Amino acid sequence: MSETGKNKRRIGLAVAQMGPVHLADTRERVVGRLVEMLREAHGRGAELVVFPELALTTFFPRYWMSDEEARQRFFETAMPNPQVQPLFDAARELGVGFYLGYAELTPEGVPFNTAILVDKAGTIVGKYRKIHLPGHDDHKPDAPFQHLEKKFFNVGDEPFGVWDALGARIGMCLCNDRRWPETWRMMSLQSAELVVLGYNTPSHNIHWPEPVHLRMHHHLITLQASAYQNCVWAAAAAKCGSEDGHHMIGGSVIVAPTGEIAAQTVTEDDEVIAVNVDLDLAETFRRNVFDFARHRRPEHYSLITERVGPGAPLPRKPV
Ligand code: CDT
């Protein structure tokens, strides 16, 4: 490392991709896999480990069932709870923080698709509830599987946020959120340096006959373009492979603010990737092409918050 390299602000960052979690897998078994990857990541210098969305269970929104059954089988009513406690204990023992996605049922009985940020002491320091819920809420008996996030979860009740933790300013989102530019801009406008997210992306799209290769293509271009346009590092963890015959893409990545992929998984199984991240790398972009204070023109962006979808063109002055 160069002399200047020594002075840079760095964080040991790992993504812990998960292979499939089947319906028959217990929470204990899944948490055992997470602890094993946390230990491996620590051995490779990680201070923060990113786990997937809904990491504790199979991707259950693919199954039609009553809300009551889903809540009984797949939701957590407390975090940590006795089954997940070993992960929090390992984090404290090793001095490693983590991001974890799970299905949350609040004490008031409200269901969310949630992610938490846990610091090196094993304390929850941030919580994010998924805002962009894809899929549908009705039964589609002719589809090969369902995507019932709109049935099983409420839309997140707080805007996108960032948290000062582990020596960095960290933003959180979940899966489908990564496809929306608003997600990233909300966080970069709060000076995010690193955006972490988990995902479950089915290889087949039940809504239209999308060529399978486009799933990976759109996943990667979204992350690379968003990291660059928002001057952030991005870390994305898949749950992937075939869960009881339902295939989901891998391709977990750590992306630099340059838009370049710094590390990518090569399997569809449990796999750790790690990068010693230079948090200052984004500064060049923040000071130049994306100096927001000098170049952004929010007075010309009003439609972004006024309209949900496409509408009539804005009135123009006569030419
Ligand atoms: N989990 C999740 O958000 N998955 C979506 C699938 C979209 S297709 C209905 C994703 O954006 O990857």
Q: Decide: 138 and 149 in contact? Cβ < 8 Å.
A: no
- The confidence score (pLDDT) of residue 8 equals 84
Percent of the chain, pLDDT > 70?
Answer: 98
CA distance 194 to 191: 9
Has residue 5 got a pLDDT over 80?
no
pLDDT (mean) for 244-249 = 98
- pLDDT for position 155: 98
Backbone angles phi, psi at 28, to 5 degrees: -60, -45
pTM here? Answer: 0.97
The overall average pLDDT reported for the chain is 97
Phi, psi of 17 (to 5 degrees): -70, 145
Report CA torsion sign: 111, 174, 147, 268: negative
- pLDDT tens, residue by residue, 161-199: 999 999 999 999 999 999 999 999 999 999 999 999 999
pLDDT in tens, 192-224: 999 999 999 999 999 899 999 999 999 999 999
The per-residue pLDDT for 6 is 66
pLDDT surpassing 60 at residue 234? yes
Residue 201 Cα: closest atom of ligand 1: 12
| 255-303 pLDDT per residue, tens | 999 999 999 999 999 999 999 999 999 998 999 999 999 999 999 999 9
**CA-to-CA separations, 116 to 2, 20, 291, in angstroms, rounded:** 35, 21, 30
How far is Cα 94 from Cα 42, in angstroms, rounded to an integer? Answer: 7
Identify whether 240 is a catalytic site residue. no
What's the CATH superfamily of 15-295? Carbon-nitrogen hydrolase (3.60.110.10)
Which tokens sit at 106? 């609040």
Query: What are the structural domain ranges in the chain?
Result: 15-295
Q: Whose CA is nearest to atom 6 of ligand 1?
A: 201
Q: Whose CA is nearest to atom 7 of ligand 1?
A: 134
**Does residue 7 surpass a pLDDT of 80?**
no
Please state the atom number of ligand 1 nearest to the C-alpha of residue 133: 3
Write down the pLDDT at residue 72: 98
Catalytic residue among 47, 104, 120, 130: 130
Angle between helices 181-188 and 213-230 (to 10 degrees): 20
